[in-house]
Amino acid sequence: MSKSKPNEANILVKSLIYVVLIIGVIISIFPFYMMFVSATHTSGEILKVPPMLTVGSNLIKNYETLQADINFWKVFFNSIFIASVYTFLTVFLSSMAGYAFAKYNFKGKNLFFSLILLLMMIPYQVLLVPQFILMTKLGWVGTYQAIILPGLANIFGIFLMRQNMLSFPNALIDAARIDGLGEFGIFFKVVLPNVKASLGALAIYMFMSQWNSFMWPLINNMYTFPVALAQLNGTTRIDYGEIMFGASMSAIPIIIVFLIFQRQFISGILGGAIKE
């Protein structure tokens, strides 16, 4: 009897934990479900009380309206292209900078790294005017490089990769040097293959950050999803059906990327807490 009571108590506790987790999952998923369902309804149906919980028949109409108002496929291309190029370049440059700060000794390294971290406290909005002036002088206003290049030196990316690479064994680097590999060979052939989780975590974060960027890509032909959808609220009419359709299409790539790389994201973030 004494053994069965603890077992029953454990089962009860685990059952309660599962119930709480299931409720948490439902609460987390429900807004996304309502967004996708609302994308198939008209504005009138969306504003009904109680709300409609089943799929409607206005999906195609909402798509056609959105395409007419913001050129959906142009906005979709802008978002994918800008976020992908930005992510690739940022991950590449951040990993190189993080490796340099983690494994090389040079004069003023700690001071320079501290100054970089201090820059994280500067609000992004403070840099908007200087960056715009610089882009104007370079003749880049209204171009993709003006949207992508200013944010490539990402402080968070450098910090994350540096923290992860601190735990990388120096013995492997020394062995690679003895085998005749150059510094770039060591970086690309030895270091990067062993920090894939960190690279995946940083890639997800950078992709989501650029995908949701709102302040910078305000050129009409360069609109990304957040900016384009915001323009719909400034029109004389507000069609919630097309807004929900656009929001749903904007969320799908982020959800797919996170579902594919969620293990790398968690491992990479946790890896930054481990130090040699």
In the predicted model, is pLDDT for residue 249 greater than 70? Answer: yes
Q: Is residue 163 part of a domain?
A: yes
Q: Is residue 216 part of a domain?
A: yes
Flag the least confident range among 46-55, 196-205, 261-270: 261-270
Q: Is residue 242 part of a domain?
A: no
Q: Which domain holds residue 155?
A: 71-232
Q: Is residue 194 part of a domain?
A: yes
pTM of the model: 0.80
pLDDT value at position 151? Answer: 83
pLDDT value at position 18? Answer: 92
Q: Is residue 269 part of a domain?
A: no
Q: Is residue 105 part of a domain?
A: yes
Q: Is residue 262 part of a domain?
A: no
Query: What is the pLDDT averaged over residues 264-276?
Result: 57
pLDDT value at position 271? Answer: 56
**CATH number for position 113:** 1.10.3720.10
pLDDT in tens, 121-142: 888 778 888 888 888 898 888 7
CA gyration radius for the chain? 24
In the predicted model, is pLDDT for residue 71 greater than 90? Answer: no
pLDDT value at position 88? Answer: 94
CA 159 to each of CA 90, 118, 148, 154, 162: distance values in angstroms, whole numbers, following the listed order: 12, 12, 20, 9, 5
Flag the least confident range among 3-12, 16-25, 51-60: 3-12
Q: In the structure, what pLDDT confidence band is assigned to residue 212 with cuts at 50, 70 and 90?
A: confident
Query: What is the pLDDT averaged over residues 104-117?
Result: 87
pLDDT in tens, 161-182: 998 888 888 888 888 898 888 8
Q: Report the number of distinct structural domains present in the chain.
A: 1
Q: Is residue 20 part of a domain?
A: no
